[in-house]
Amino acid sequence: MHPVRRLAVLAPAVALLLAGCGAGPELSPPTGVDELQIPTESPDPRDFVGTVDNPWFPLEPGRTWEYDVNGQAGALTVTVEAGPEVAGVATIARVADQAGTDTVDWFAQDEDGNVWWFGRDGVWQAGQGGAEAGLAMAAEPRVGDGYRTGYDVGVVEDQAEVVSVEETRLVEAGDFSDLLVTENTTPLEPGAVERRYFASGVGLVYVEAASGAAESVELVRY
C-alpha cells in the first residue's frame, strides 16, 4: 500500500484545532480524504506523477492567473514552472508575483489525483527539520473534509476544511458556479479565517477574509 495512503487519519478541522503539536491524528468517517496520511512524513516518490492536473488545483506550466488584491488591479500574477526535487519528489512550482516580490510554492500530485504542498522557497521545505508535506487539494473533496495543508511546527501549521461544493461567485473574470469552498485557519494566528473559492478547471477564483486581517483576492483573468 502506498505510504501516503496507509492510514485513515484525518480528523475534522475542529478536532485539528484542538489537537496539540505532536498529538496523534484522530479518525474521521469516510470522506474525500479517507485513508490519506496527512501530513505525510515520508512520501514515496513512486506514488507521484509529473503533472498537477487536479481540476480544482490545476498547475500546468505556461498558465497565468491575474488577481486584484483589495481592489489593486494587477496586484498579483501567478505563473507555473518546473520545480525542484523536494523530499525526493519532483515538484511543480507556483510563482506568485506581487509588487515585484516572488513567493514560490512547491506542489506535487499523487497517482490518485491528490495535490500535496511540499514547501515554500526560503520558508519551509518538506523533509527538512521535521517539516511534512500537507494536502493542498483532495482528488475528490467533500463537505466536512478537514486536513493540514502543510506542517512545520511554529512555521506553518495551516489547516483547511471543505465547507461547500455548490457556491456561486461573480468576479471580474466571470460568473462561476458549483464552486468548492474551503475555510482556512492556523493556530499560529488565532481567530484569522479565510474562505477560498475554487472553480473546476480554473483553480482559485476568490479569497474572502471571513475574519482576521487576511487580504481579499479576486480573479481578473486567466
Q: What is the pLDDT of residues 41-78, one digit of tens each?
A: 899 999 999 999 999 999 999 999 999 998 676 689 99
- Tell me the CATH number at 53: 2.40.360
The percentage of the chain sitting over the pLDDT mark of 70, rounded to a whole number, equals 82
Using the structure block, give the residue that is written with the C-alpha cell 474562505.
Answer: 195
The residue-averaged pLDDT of 115-125 equals 98
Question: 28: pLDDT confidence band, cut at 50, 70 and 90?
Answer: very low
Q: Which of 13, 52, 10 is nearest to 32 (CA)?
A: 10
Question: Which residues span the domain enclosing 14?
Answer: 3-221
CB under 8 Å to 18, separation ≥6 — which residues? none
Question: 141: pLDDT confidence band, cut at 50, 70 and 90?
Answer: very high
What beta strand segments (E) does 45-192 contain?
48-49, 64-69, 72-86, 89-98, 101-110, 115-120, 124-125, 132-137, 146-148, 150-151, 159-171, 174-185
Domain count for the chain, please give it: 1
